[in-house]
Structure 1
């Protein structure tokens, strides 16, 4: 067998795996990605990428490309509801409440783009960045020892120092490691997604939406806009995949749709499960391999992007000899609580969407969308701040992403542009902040010398 070597091997070439490759190349790490499928996803899947994910793409130099690829859904940010699509009314956009001054949350707006449109953009970018991207290549198994991981393929082996498992909710790597999962398990009823084509541009004109809840007693469900014109996904409760879907859809839409074409009918069950460990030796779980949750606002996809943004700089620092291997322990310490938090929030938000009832215990939406979750332990020095995660209070607290502020009158440079791929020290509200490469505040104090001492300590693997 031939023996290719690579510092990092990624198993899985979906959205999260491709982003992992891009993050590692951004940090000048050689990386090989394996994907058993021949192509990127043929299904729309995730469609809403919030501001934190777009900030990651901004750092990678890809935000403009992503926004351009998403132009078909520009202006489709609203929700809608009605008995049928023909009767549906557009709902007003959500606005933050409170009497405080209006704060611009991010240098990047959120983006609506179907996963089957986004993944080819990321794949092309990863190849152009120098990643070895191999589709039609299945990893059959792996062996781990003290120095690395040996992946077994058909007729060859690949030797890597670290393995990233981006192989999805049914992760064979997670199962091989014996990593269990905890959580609520199955959530709600089984569901069916019906992916179809029909030219509904005239029907929705002036009432464009991202998601429309339909309440017809014979055809209730939700309609997701994939491109705003011809591509749609109808989501119905119940696990019956053999219904007369053309008839159901015409009832739900309330218009004849003579050009209706059903592309796929997929039954699925929402689950809330989080891995009990995100790391085992030289193997690290990311994305759906680490956490599954109801698909509320693409929470799983966005959380997976945050996983690899966190893990990527740490792997790079260790591989360069800049950091001790103990730094990698902070990946589990930080991302597993974050994954549990988002999975729980996503589950409860999905419940409120179905019932229409408010839940006052839910976190402020920006906690999810703009990096407001606070790491309490990991590669950081806690500053004693005790603000509850449910609130969104961008104040430069340790363990949160630095608040966005424009640095120039032209509004082209943000405080988030100060960090990544390097560390940096900046002044914020009178204090010195030590920013990690993932924009997270690692320490808050009074001197640049103190910041450098903390940085050295954290890289040595001495975490909180």
Structure 2
């Protein structure tokens, strides 16, 4: 996902939208600024882009209070991130926004945009990225990828967060913050009134973009390839004749001599995102004339009437933060990693950061887990970011004809094949690390999708995950199931036990459950709220309580 707008960008006031509608929906939040008392919340979120909004929604879904502050007046009006992989759409479905996302989906045949030199030029072929085999390769998909503009997705996340009770404050800047022994104290300012308030929170999530002020204040460095190229998103209206209009798909890639990027259309507005050569040595901005020329080159129509609406600038870069946690502050999304657009991994990685972090914060704040559980966030997500950034750079170089910088992995491996190694995964130390090419049910991997029957609301094992721990047990696994249930009760952990088999509570319709999870009829696999296998006992002969205590960083 690209970073937030570069400070001072032209038409900056037009780069966000929805302020009037948001104020109407959130008047109770605006009234807070007239009070004299400070605000209290469990989690303060700095930044209201995709990752911040996802964190707000997911924390509320977990029953954790949060306040989100974002200096812009509303959600993005630029499409920016467009593609969301099946792991991310699983999260959307679990959080209750799957149907809403599908209603705004761009109708692209086969889910793969076409590629042109220009819209009146040659069609190069389908826009499949190198390594993009995630939907061709494997039957282990519960959801499919979705093409939806960020400008349409952010309001969906916002609406769901508000529905779940989140406190989201656009037009509010965090002007200072400090960590205290029992939490974080932040001063925020309403940008429309200038009024300031103090917010006290147990934890702070910094989702404040690639130029993160919070990360800089902490002195956390970044490593990686650095800046690669400047990009611009141009929002515009154009008078396109009927013949050309029938040819143009809702979204397509462009790979021509002057324009290399993508073009997306929603109703009467278009957005062109492309790499560009700066007008001046400072490399800051393009003139209106240059923006118009780029749009006309994208269409291949030299005299096309164009009405410019807004521009948004960002840099394509490849960097990962050296640390994800410092005390009570945790980095997420672009604040933790930025990467090239090839493969569409950036926004997906940020949303999956929020999913990983939200359940851990929920367990800690409920008292079910010790605060050291939060150390597993960096241990799990930073290696994923390092690998994903390297793969995105390799795809970017490959697109430019320079050859990949590292061997290309399949998208399936990147999306589903990661294996977490942390204190929140109970696995033998000698177990191999790295990425899987197929589901294994090993601790640290995403729990395999297995079709099941017997409950009208449950079609897959994936339907069972989300808010709490789930023990998936074989038909004859009473011993380990009873022991895990008793351990969870003693530790105050919310646990669901489900037996799966031909004669169990849920039927294994394809007969693949035991093989997929690597257990016998007497065995079981403990799945964390984020759908990752945390521990398994292949034959049901292990004591689950020490493993559960260690997983949750419980010292007593």
Partner of 1:14: 49
Inter-partner Cα distance in structure 1 for 2:294 and 2:397: 24
Find the partner of 1:86 among 120, 124, 148. Answer: 120
Offset of 1:354 from its aligned partner? 2.4
Partner of 2:530: 438
Inter-partner Cα distance in structure 2 for 1:102 and 1:291: 28
Q: Does 1:457 align with 2:503?
A: no
**Residues 294-349 of structure 1, C-alpha deviation per residue, up to 9 Å, x if partnerless?**
12243221111111101111111111111111111111111111111111111211
- Rate the CA distance shift 1:116–1:191 in 2: closer, same or farther, 3 A: closer
Inter-partner Cα distance in structure 2 for 1:103 and 1:287: 28
Find the partner of 2:256 among 215, 220, 229. Answer: 215
Q: Does 1:239 align with 2:278?
A: yes
Superposed, 1:8-407 pairs within 5 Å as 8-70=43-105, 72-75=106-109, 77-89=111-123, 91-92=125-126, 103-154=138-189, 155-187=196-228, 189-198=229-238, 202-203=243-244, 205=246, 208=249, 210-216=251-257, 219-227=258-266, 230-240=269-279, 241-242=286-287, 244-255=290-301, 258-355=304-401, 361-369=407-415, 371-383=416-428, 384-386=430-432, 388-389=434-435, 392-407=437-452
Inter-partner Cα distance in structure 1 for 2:132 and 2:548: 37
- Rate the CA distance shift 1:434–1:89 in 2: closer, same or farther, 3 A: same
**Residues 67-96 of structure 1, C-alpha deviation per residue, up to 9 Å, x if partnerless?**
1122x4343732433432223326357598
How many residues align? The count is: 454
- Rate the CA distance shift 1:45–1:247 in 2: closer, same or farther, 3 A: closer
Offset of 1:18 from its aligned partner? 1.0
User: After TM superposition, which residue ranges in structure 1, 4 or more long, deviate above 6 angstroms?
Assistant: 95-98
Inter-partner Cα distance in structure 2 for 1:332 and 1:385: 20
8 Å CA contact 1:199–1:257 kept in 2: the answer is: no
Offset of 1:21 from its aligned partner? 1.1
Offset of 1:457 from its aligned partner? 2.2
- TM-score calculated relative to the size of structure 2: 0.75
Q: Name stretches of at least 5 consecutive residues in structure 2 with no aligned partner.
A: 1-35, 190-195, 280-285, 474-513
Inter-partner Cα distance in structure 2 for 1:288 and 1:103: 30
8 Å CA contact 1:291–1:339 kept in 2: the answer is: yes
**Structure of higher CA gyration radius:** 2
- TM-score calculated relative to the size of structure 1: 0.89
Q: Give the secondary-structure state (helix, strand or coil) at the position aligned to 1:376.
A: coil
- Rate the CA distance shift 1:246–1:32 in 2: closer, same or farther, 3 A: closer
Inter-partner Cα distance in structure 2 for 1:395 and 1:138: 45
